[in-house]
Each structure stands twice: as structure tokens, then as C-alpha cells.
A = this chain, B = another copy of it.
Amino acid sequence: MANSKYEYVRNFELDDSALPSTWMVVRIDGRGFHGFSDMHTFDKPNDLKALGVMNKAAIEVMKNIRDITIAYGQSDEYSFVLPPSCNLYSRRISKIISTVVSLFASNYAMHWSEYFPDRKLLVAPCFDARLVCYPTKKVLRDYLSWRQADCHINNLYNTAFWAIVHSGKSEQEAEEKLRGTFSKDKNEILFSEFNINYNSLAPVYRKGSVIIRKETEVKSISAQTGKEVSRQKRVPTVLHDDIIGDKFWEEHPELLASNTEVASL
């Protein structure tokens, strides 16, 4: 066949399998989302609708890729966790990364108008992605804690920053006022100057979004009887829980259960 003469070029494709029996985390991150959020006039410090599109895209990724057990998102980033036993695409890193990130991006574009019916999507959303392997439950939890701690730190800063700006100061003045401050200082500024109790803000901003598959009663019309029937189904569900402490993991022991399992290879 005419083709075979060129087919040797396939040998340049090197294997990029992830180490078996490790937790794989795919983290996607908005590219140029500072400009993107300005262009689409997102609310500051947080835009609930923009977070809504992110969460919707993540839910669709989880519906499509059943191996993902938990996802965590904040701002313009999302992390998807695949357990040690996962053998998706024989754990080839490029395949996993590209499938997750392209699904996320196209879903973001498709569902945009449901969250912003009055605003046209002006440029194509773009995300970079990486895959990182974590060998133990402990390191995986530390990874997720790292992202949620990051959410807290950024959100506290942004909340204080935009409160100052919205009060009439320049962005530069806000920046100077906050330089070198600790968490308790920002809490104090918010409370004493703007009457904002940071801890009473909506958890979606302070904690970010956790998606797990929850047993849910799903109702449908039986094709045979024409009557409404209900059944239990595991549906990707958004929570805004703390995932740094032990409570969340004790309530959902199945999330870390597969750690000791060796992947069936």
C-alpha cells in the first residue's frame, strides 16, 4: 500500500504512560482569563455566572469520563482526580489530558449562553492542562488542600481589594493598602470598614466547588407503562464543602478507598 512507505514516522511517537497505581490529577487552567473576564465584564471579585459555566463544563466532563471520582474547581481552574486503579487510555498522559481539556473547553463554549443569555461569547475559551501523579492518599489530599487553601487566600485578598476599589479608591491604592497584610488584617478591614463578615460570604466563593457522584433519585417516564418511575443514580453534584479537614473524607470514604488497590493491568 502506498501508505506503508511513510508509516515508519509512527515510530517517533514515544510512550508517555503515567506510573500505574498512582492517583492521577488533571488540572486545567484558563489561558489569558484576566483579559477574558474583562472582555466579558465579569463581576468582581467573583462572578457567580462565570463560576456557573465552569461548574457546568466540569459536570459534563465527569458525565463523559466515568473514571473521574472527584473534581475541585475555583476561579478559572479545575482539577479532576482519577484513582490508582484507573486504566483510561492505558494511562497515556497525552490522551487523558487532551480528552479532558477539549471536552471542558467545548462544553464551556456550548453552555455559555445558558449562563450569559445577554452576552455573546467573544473569543474562544482556552485552557492549558497538566497531569500529575500522586502516589499516596496523603499527598493527594495535600494537593486538594493546596488548591482550596489557594482559593481562600486569593478570595480573601480579592474581596478586600474590590471592596476598597468599589468604595472609590484606585486599584493602586487598594494594592498599597493590602501590601504586607495578614489574613486577620484583611478580615478586620472588611469588617470594620465595609461591614463585611468574610466568613458569612457564600461558600462557593470561599471554598470553591467540589463535584462528587452522589446517589440521587432520578425520575423518568417508563417507556413501557407510561408511568413515572424513579431510580437511584450516581449523579455529579456540586458541593462547596471544606476538603482540607477530615470530616469531608470521613463522610465519603469511597473517594479514597481505591488507594490500596493495585490497578488491574
Interface residues of A (CB under 8 A from B): 1-3, 6-9, 11-17, 19-22, 28, 31, 60, 64, 84, 89, 93-95, 97-99, 101-110, 121, 124-136, 138-139, 142-143, 145-146, 149-150, 152-153, 183, 260, 262-263, 265
Contacts and interface: CB of A to CB of B under 8 A. Distances in A.
Given A12-B21, A102-B102, A138-B260, 16 more contacts: A2-B149, A3-B146, A8-B265, A12-B133, A14-B17, A93-B94, A94-B128, A97-B98, A102-B104, A102-B127, A105-B105, A106-B108, A106-B125, A110-B121, A135-B135, A135-B136
Given A93-B94, A105-B103, A8 B129 contact: no
B95 A128 contact: yes
A136 B140 CA distance: 14
Given A11-B265, A19-B14, A135-B22, A103 B129 contact: no
B94 A131 contact: yes
A139 B262 contact: yes
Contact of A152 (B2, B97, B136, B262): B2
Contact of A105 (B21, B106, B143, B260): B106
A143 B14 contact: no
Contacts of A139: 9, 12, 21, 262
